[in-house]
Amino acid sequence: MVKTLQKNPAWKGRKGPVVLVIMDGVGYGKYKEGDAVADSKMPHLDAVRNKSPNCKLKAHGKAVGLPSDSDMGNSEVGHNAMGCGRVFEQGAALVNSAIQTGSMFQGKAWKEIVENISRGGAEARGEGTLHFIGLFSDGNVHSHVTNHLEPMIAEAKKEGVKRVRVHILLDGRDVPPQSALDVLEPFENFLAGLNDANFDAKIASGGGRMYITMDRYEANWEQVKRGWETHVHGEGRKFKTAKEAIETYRKETPGLIDQDMHEFVICDDAGKPVGTIEDGDSVVYFNFRGDRALEMSRAFETPEGEFKAFDRGRFPKVCYAGMMEYDGDTHIPKRYLVEPPAIDCTMGEYLVATGLRTLAISETQKFGHVTYFFNGNRSGKFDEKLENYVEIKSDVVPFEQRPWMKCADIADYVIEAIGSGMYDHIRLNFPNGDMVGHTGVYQAVCCSMEGMDIQIGRIQQAVDKAGGVMLITADHGNSDDMYEHKKDGSVDYTSDGTPKAKTSHSLNPVPCIIYDPQYQGEYDNKALVSEIDEAGAIKSLGISSIAATLIDLMGYVPPEDYNRSVLKQN
């Protein structure tokens, strides 16, 4: 149980709410070329920053619980850090540890997966097949082929599994946009080195992550249905190899980003799919991040007659496991290989315990981030009376075609909420910088930034009128780094002379801007803390400091174990 927050006696109070504006995917770029944030006309954000104390915060690597500072941040861990006020070891690091120590393979879930195969299956001489489905990437945001998938396949062979099939979801989002073959060819060599008379491992199907399987927040169940038909039934365009599929699609559509590639099914010489999913098989979804794994997990686990999202057709009886528990409240999936981080005492819990009223709002694409992830991977509310969660339905169109997304709709609701006097804290997420940034379409990203900026100006006016406070930040960078760069910092160009688009997140810091129009001298309004002396070493603060900063601005004393606020108290 969390305790009630203690009032800060030095705080003189504000009339309006404390508003947290999360500009998803908006950082400070390292390079001038390709920084769509700096290249966009954003007069409202510039005006707020110029009149307010501000600093830069880390939003990647160890600052958000990832294994190393070469790991880009992501929305999941970023919102965890902001909402929980501390840094927890996150997905990739947890899986790395479970594999390196062998605890994954000693766990109940892994043993059930392997034992199920030995009990039956329609193929492989009476034994079932072990299937792996997941993001085929070394981006380390949802999965890692070399560090996670390959060790599991090797262990499966060691434990007597005879048949493995892999269903690959191409990335081009957390990694360069056309890098699939860079991962595929070493992986095919890895499988060839394992295969022998007693072990048969092959790629069975695949497609781009934004075309099949990896939808999130129920935005597009048709995407999941396409994945189900591809992986389970072997339905879709047929090829002899994954390499042939990728090269064919690229030839047909020059410039095609891996994430958007249509489905492919690998078939033998007779045209039969090499890896449909059958009764008696086992299936592992090897993504460790939960948002884009929940829907396919539900498709595999929901009993016949209860699943309404789409017609699954033949529903195989399999032993299914996720890499992690993707939702701790609904317990999806029921079986998982690695325990999630135990996150407790989130900011939301403290606010509820103190009787403070909260609004959390975004459109579908980021609704789960300001609720589920912000609350420490917890679904639902801490208190129905004190919390209001609002989802604005996202458009189901390519983001580059509607780059402003739903930012105006979000702002409309927030402006009314600020003026209502009903809330002590409001948090919102503008997804534009991240979702449009992932498309690699530079002009669309600039449009998305400028559309968002208009809404920031509108919210600022509402904060002025209500006498509130606005904290503007981001969960990670993306739109600030839209071109691929060489080691010397120069832009990397395609053969036709255009810059190579970068669709992944960046390693850049993000803004922290405190707009406080009723400032009364409680803290230094000329400068925020951007570095602290910790154990003799200078370390930049990360976005985990946002929670303590918000609590400061609401007039309370942050919990002692929270990472410190960016405010310099007077």
What are the tens digits of pLDDT across the range 245-255?
999 999 999 99
59 in Cβ contact with 78 (< 8 Å): yes
Chain segment 258-278, per-residue pLDDT in tens? 999 999 999 999 999 999 999
pLDDT at 72: 83
As a whole number, mean pLDDT of residues 464-474 equals 98
Give the type of residue at 528.
L
**Residue 495 contacts by C-beta under 8 Å, 6 or more apart in sequence?**
none
pLDDT of residue 536: 40
Q: Mean pLDDT across the stretch 14-29?
A: 97
Report the residue count for the chain: 570
Q: According to the model, what pLDDT value does residue 533 have?
A: 46
Q: Exposure string (b/e) for 72-91, b if CB count within 10 Å is 16 or more?
A: bbbbbbbbbbbbbbbbbebb
Residue that is written with structure tokens 């508003």 in the block: 19
Q: Between these two residues, 65 and 190, which has the higher pLDDT value?
A: 190
Report whether pLDDT(538) > 70. Answer: no
Distance CA 88, CA 69 (A): 15
Active site residues: 75
Residue 329 has pLDDT above 70, yes or no: no
pLDDT, residue 534, reads 46
Q: Is the model's pLDDT at 458 over the cut of 80?
A: yes
Amino acid found at 93: A
Cα 431 to its chain centre, rounded Å, is: 12
Name the amino acid, one letter, at 128. Answer: G
**Cβ contact 400:441 at 8 Å:** yes
Q: Which domains does the chain have, with CATH numbers?
A: 6-89+342-557 (3.40.720.10), 92-338 (3.40.1450.10)
How is residue 461 written in tokens? 């006016």
Q: Give one DSSP letter per residue of 53-110, joined into a string.
A: -EEEEB-SGGGGT-SSTTSPP-HHHHHHHHHHSS----HHHHHHHHHHHSHHHHSHHH
Secondary structure letter of residue 504 according to DSSP:
S
246's CB contacts (< 8 A; 6+ apart) are 170, 180, 181, 184, 258, 261
Residue 539's pLDDT is 60
Confidence check: pLDDT of 19 > 70: yes
Model confidence at 532, pLDDT cuts 50, 70, 90, reads low
Three-state secondary-structure class, residue 356: coil
What is the per-residue pLDDT for 246?
Answer: 98
Sign of CA dihedral 250, 253, 255, 259: negative
Full 3-state SS string of 515-565 = ECCCCCCCECCCCCCCEEEECCEEEECECCHHHHHHHHHCCEECCCCCCCC
Q: What is the mean pLDDT of the chain?
A: 93
Three-class SS state of 302: coil
Write the pLDDT tens digit of every residue in 553-563. 999 999 999 99
Specify the pTM: 0.74
The tens digit of pLDDT for each residue in 370-382 reads 999 999 988 899 9
Distance CA(490)–CA(494), nearest Å, equals 13
Task: Give the tokens for residue 352.
Answer: 């509820």
Arithmetic mean of pLDDT, 512-523: 96
Query: Is the model more confident about 540 or about 476?
Result: 476
